[in-house]
Amino acid sequence: MAKITLSDLKHSYNPQPKGPADYALKEIDLEWSDGGAYALLGPSGCGKSTLLNIISGLLTPSNGRILFDDKDVTHLPPNARNIAQVFQFPVIYDTMTVYDNLAFPLRNRGVDEATVRTRVMAIAEMLEVTDMLHRKAAGLSPDNKQKISMGRGLVRDDVNVVMFDEPLTVIDPHLKWKLRSKLKELHQKVRATMIYVTHDQTEALTFADQVVVMQDGEIVQIGTPVELFERPAHTFVGHFIGSPGMNVLPCEVRNGGAFFENTLITLEGEITQGSGATQIGVRPEFVSLGDHGLPAVVSKVSDIGRHAVVEAKVGNATVKAIVEGEAPVQGAATHLAFDPEKTRLYRDGWIATRAAT
């Protein structure tokens, strides 16, 4: 396995790019450690496939370098990069048995049959498919086929990286959580460098130790799932991660303080210098309803089982709060309080408060 470094990567599909808008990847600098579990998370069109294709060698970047450990592989073809890939749709041979499918990547590289057997049996056990080894792949359910596809990606122990591209797309929703946790477990057992590409926050946050969030060809934040949840570096991350996403409320900065609807809001720390449009960001989990704080009127209550999402109007703005226990009724007058340690200022989307020490 290898450490992966992406250095000053840029890519434009336009042969004569005129400005940043012509770049599918704007400037990517990133280091993935050997043996880590990473996710690349972002909405459709943010550049995930472009980045994946650059790492696998299907695409040469317009600018920058890719290193596996300290070796520059930027111009190496895919077959010289020693990468395993698991795609959205299972890639298996229907006419072969499950055993032969799992053995294929090893036999293809001339591995001796005794080693093939040891590796196939170990992977089959991890994936809990030992009882299917002698069945033809054609008769398997889509989720079992995808499990075998994952097994083919994981069976070799000499690859630099295993890349998963939206691997749960074809899996039934009720089986997704099972495969998701299986993959996490597999990573803990095999300790390969793994990159998991998805637009689904749950998949990214359950699988990865570190998540790279992308928007519009740029990395907006790299962090652990807790960091992304607790302290989004950009309002996009606040919106994209969480359910519902972070409240982003327009505010005015005067004399070093942030005012929302003419009320001074206590923030996590000092506001940094700068100019631009300012907003307060606070997650619904850190907004509480009670007798003190901003006067508000409940406009909507959605009971979603374990808790309710309450929407309340403060002037023209709507603030969401997660309420455990009994929720107020629509139309009720209330007050909102923001947890100061979890309330931040954003300027032009980027965090603009210093973290409390």
Ligand X SMILES: Nc1ncnc2c1ncn2[C@@H]1O[C@H](COP(=O)(O)OP(=O)(O)OP(=O)(O)O)[C@@H](O)[C@H]1O
Interacting residues toward ligand X by CB under 6 A: 13, 24, 42, 44-50, 199
Question: Are 199 and 41 a contacting pair, CB within 8 Å?
Answer: yes
Nearest distance from C-beta of residue 157 to ligand X, angstroms = 29
Q: Is 357 exposed, middle or buried (0-12, 13-18, 19+ CB in 10 A)?
A: exposed
Nearest distance from C-beta of residue 194 to ligand X, angstroms = 18
Nearest distance from C-beta of residue 120 to ligand X, angstroms = 32
Comparing CB distances to ligand X, the nearer of 20 and 45 is 45
Comparing CB distances to ligand X, the nearer of 46 and 208 is 46
Say how many Å lie between the first and final Cα of the chain, rounded. Answer: 37
Q: How far apart are CA 12 and CA 27, in angstroms?
A: 11
Nearest distance from C-beta of residue 22 to ligand X, angstroms = 10
Nearest distance from C-beta of residue 40 to ligand X, angstroms = 9
| Three-class SS state of 21 | helix
Residues pairing with 21 in the sheet: none
Alpha helices by DSSP H, the chain: 48-56, 98-107, 113-127, 142-154, 173-190, 201-207, 225-230, 235-240
Comparing CB distances to ligand X, the nearer of 15 and 110 is 15
Comparing CB distances to ligand X, the nearer of 25 and 296 is 25
| Count of CB atoms situated within 10 Å of the CB of 302 | 12
| Count of CB atoms situated within 10 Å of the CB of 49 | 17
Q: Please name which of 260, 300, 262 lies closest in space to residue 278, comparing C-alpha atoms.
A: 260
Comparing CB distances to ligand X, the nearer of 46 and 249 is 46
Q: How far apart are CA 197 and CA 299, in angstroms?
A: 37
Tokens of 30: 């990133």
Q: Please name which of 330, 343, 159, 151 lies closest in space to residue 238, comparing C-alpha atoms.
A: 343
Comparing CB distances to ligand X, the nearer of 50 and 160 is 50
Q: Tokens 């689904």 identify what position?
A: 200
Comparing CB distances to ligand X, the nearer of 47 and 349 is 47
Q: What angle do CA 154, 143, 165 make, to 5 degrees?
A: 55
Nearest distance from C-beta of residue 49 to ligand X, angstroms = 3
Helix (H) or strand (E) holding 188: helix 173-190
Nearest distance from C-beta of residue 167 to ligand X, angstroms = 13
Q: How far apart are CA 157 and CA 192, in angstroms?
A: 8
Question: Are 223 and 210 a contacting pair, CB within 8 Å?
Answer: yes
| Three-class SS state of 146 | helix
Nearest distance from C-beta of residue 50 to ligand X, angstroms = 3
Q: Tokens 């606070």 identify what position?
A: 282
Comparing CB distances to ligand X, the nearer of 44 and 316 is 44
CA torsion angle 352 318 342 207 (round to 10):
-100
Nearest distance from C-beta of residue 246 to ligand X, angstroms = 22
Comparing CB distances to ligand X, the nearer of 45 and 142 is 45
Nearest distance from C-beta of residue 52 to ligand X, angstroms = 7
Comparing CB distances to ligand X, the nearer of 36 and 42 is 42
